[in-house]
């Protein structure tokens, strides 16, 4: 029988939003999945744009190779919007890293959680 445990993203401090400071690859670290291949992290991420103009967001999923590891590639986030879901429960394991970068630093923030399934 599987065990499900809810957690804050590892890139977050105390569950607070993660500000995207990176404007290119590799992006700001959002979450590092649990080690090993017998379980997985089911990850949910939302984005908020605090800027008065639309901004682009790229999510790197387990690596930085384009297009292999880009699950969201230059998604335009509307001005003064959010939270908008950008990762709807996609699974990852084996200590792979989720990171993100934006077209402009420090205006997009990400929130979310993950369910560790083991």
Domain ranges of the chain: 4-117
CATH class of 4-117: mainly beta
Q: According to the model, what pLDDT value does residue 1 have?
A: 62
pTM attached to this predicted model = 0.93
In tens digits, what is the pLDDT along the chain, a chain of 118 residues?
678 888 999 999 999 999 999 999 999 999 999 999 889 999 999 999 999 999 999 999 999 998 889 987 678 999 999 899 999 999 999 999 999 999 999 999 999 999 999 8
Q: According to the model, what pLDDT value does residue 18 have?
A: 98
- Inter-residue contact 20 to 60 (CB < 8 Å): no
Q: According to the model, what pLDDT value does residue 62 have?
A: 95
> Which of 14, 15, 30 lies closest to 101, judged by CA?
30
């Amino acid at each position: 029988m599987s065990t499900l445990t809810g957690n804050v993203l590892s890139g977050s401090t105390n569950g607070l939003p993660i500000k995207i400071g990176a404007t290119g690859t590799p992006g700001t670290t959002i979450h590092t999945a649990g080690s090993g291949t017998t379980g997985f992290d089911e990850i949910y991420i939302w984005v908020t744009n605090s800027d008065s103009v639309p901004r682009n967001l790229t999510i790197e999923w387990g690596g930085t190779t384009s297009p292999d590891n880009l699950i969201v590639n230059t998604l335009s986030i509307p001005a003064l919007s959010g939270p908008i879901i950008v990762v709807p429960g996609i699974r990852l394991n084996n200590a792979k890293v989720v990171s993100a970068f934006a077209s402009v630093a420090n205006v997009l923030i990400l929130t979310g959680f993950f369910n560790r399934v083991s």
